[in-house]
A and B are shown apart, each in its own frame.
Chain A
Amino acid sequence: MVVVLLLITLVCSAAVGLVYKVTAEPIAAAKDAKISGAIALVVPTFDNNPAENPMTKEVDGGVMTVYTATQGGQVMGYAVETFTNEGFGGTIKLMVGFLPDGSISHIEVIEQKETPGLGDKIDKSKSDFSLQFEGKSPADFKLSVRKDGGDVDAITASTISSRAYCDAVERAYNLLQTIKR
């Protein structure tokens, strides 16, 4: 009885181990592709692999990562993986692209659990909400919704999600400023 159970467990774990070995590489590749894909979406052209030397920093109890995109040694922009815990459905993760002068180029949502049809409009594919940030520099573009006296047009009936989005972008900007200094 024990022998049979032991044998079955052995065979199964061997099989799982084998599959793990085989898939380890594609999984890592898929993760890399996702990150570099997101980076490519938010910063202008570059010829290095920004995912190779990320700079991680712990801020407000979460981990943020800064990827530097260069072309011919010249810095083309920064992609900051940022987060906020203020979302309606908890954590929202964004990839925010900055140009060297500190203005925002593009923003992509990496992970969000906002209400479908309302808060999930922060995603570029669902509404144009995120477009209003493009080309703005947080230095003179106040990153909070109009209701709170900022410059951001909130999503209708989703003030909380909009606010959280601003919070994440602002956190990314602040981190970038401290690093650049």
Chain B
Amino acid sequence: MSKFQLFAKGLIKENPVFVLLLGMCPTLGTTTSAINGMGMGIATMFVLMLSNMAIALIRNVVPDKVRIPCFIVVIASFVTVVELLMQAFVPDLYATLGVFIPLIVVNCIILGRAEAFASKNTVFDSMLDGLGIGVGFVLALTVLGGTRELLGAGSLFGRKFITGDGILIFVLAPGAFMVFGFLMVLFNKLSARLNPKAK
């Protein structure tokens, strides 16, 4: 697998949200607008990239028996760091994302990549993998948030296109499930068209 493929597989072929169906809690919970989805995605991407690198770095010294506690400690530390930084420099975004930021610790994408990839590969490869999956996550959350914002509030990235309210259900919880389901249909249709050989 070339270095580029390492990065690119996270975008479509192994997209964490639409293909692997990992990290559903923040995916459905935070994507009430494009900017919220993107903020959550970027925070997760940072943690994912950094923790992947750190875990790849220590993979040879960590005994097998305690690898999960070690991974979690590393991930939790990065999450706390990101949380503190957000609190300090983007307090508004932090206020909207609230409890979902500390919950990045238990996002299965991150532990999943640590276990499945970073613990067996070099630092650079792990970074690429983390970046690819992270960007895929950011894209998915931004698209989901954008669609919900567009339908639910008639705006995109805070810019309003209509007067009055949108279709409220889309910014509420049930709308998240509906939009997610239909986006997944579209995504599968598109990726089937992109590489018809995969079947």
On whether A and B touch (CB less than 8 Å), the answer reads yes
Q: Decide if B66 touches A4 in the complex (CB within 8 Å).
A: yes
Task: Select B84's contact among A8, A12, A27, A116, beta carbons within 8 Å.
Answer: A27
Contacts across chains A and B counted by CB atoms under 8 Å: 64
Instruction: Look across to chain A and name the residue whose beta carbon is closest to the beta carbon of B167.
Output: A117
Nearest chain A CB to B38 CB, angstrom units: 18
A5 lies within 8 A of B70 (CB): yes
- Quick check: is A1 within 8 A (CB to CB) of the other chain? yes
B21 at the interface (CB under 8 A from A): no
Verify B91–A116 contact, CB threshold 8 A.
no
Segment of A16-24, A76-84, A162-170 engaged in the interface with chain B: A16-24
Shortest Cβ distance from A65 into chain B, in angstroms? 18
Q: Which residues from chain A contact B70 at a C-beta distance below 8 Å?
A: 4-5, 8
* Chain A residues numbered 1-42 whose CB sits less than 8 Å from any CB in chain B: 1, 4-5, 8-9, 12-13, 15-16, 19-20, 23, 26-27, 30-31, 34
Interface residues of B in 14-69 (CB under 8 A from A): 32, 58, 61-63, 65-66, 69
Interface size of B by Cβ–Cβ distance < 8 Å? 28
Closest to B84 in A: A23
Please report which residues of chain A, range 26-65, place their CB below 8 angstroms from some CB of chain B when the two chains form the complex: 26-27, 30-31, 34
Q: Smallest distance from the beta carbon of B148 to chain A beta carbons, Å?
A: 11
**Any chain B CB within 8 A of the CB of A118?**
yes
Residue B152 is within 8 A (CB to CB) of chain A in the complex:
yes
Instruction: Tell me, in angstroms, the Cα distance from A19 to B69 when the chains sit together.
Output: 22
B53-102, CB < 8 A from A: 58, 61-63, 65-66, 69-70, 73-74, 76-77, 80-81, 84-85, 87-89, 91
Q: How far is the CB of A11 from chain B (nearest CB, A)?
A: 9
Q: In the complex, which of the residues A8, A23, A118 has the most CB atoms of chain B within 10 Å of its own CB atom? A: A8
Interface residues on A, range: 20 to 34
Whether the pair A16, B77 counts as a contact (CB closer than 8 A) is yes
A45→B61 CA distance, assembly (Å): 61
Which A residues touch B87, using CB under 8 A? 23, 27, 30
Alpha-carbon distance A81/B81, docked complex (angstroms): 30
A108 CA / B85 CA spacing, docked (Å) = 26
Distance of B64 from chain A, by nearest CB (Å) = 9
Give the distance to chain B from A27, nearest Cβ to Cβ, in Å: 5
Least CB separation from B79: chain A residue? A16
A16–B76 CA distance with the chains assembled, in angstroms: 10
Cα-based distance from A76 to B95 in the complex (angstroms): 30
Q: Once the chains bind, are B77 and A116 in contact (CB under 8 Å)?
A: no
Instruction: Pick the 8 closest A-B CB pairs, nearest first.
Output: A26-B88, A12-B77, A23-B88, A117-B168, A30-B91, A23-B84, A117-B165, A1-B63
**20 CB-based A-B contacts, threshold 8 Å:** A1-B65, A1-B66, A4-B63, A5-B66, A5-B69, A5-B70, A5-B73, A12-B73, A12-B76, A19-B85, A20-B84, A23-B87, A23-B88, A30-B87, A30-B91, A31-B91, A34-B91, A116-B32, A116-B152, A117-B166
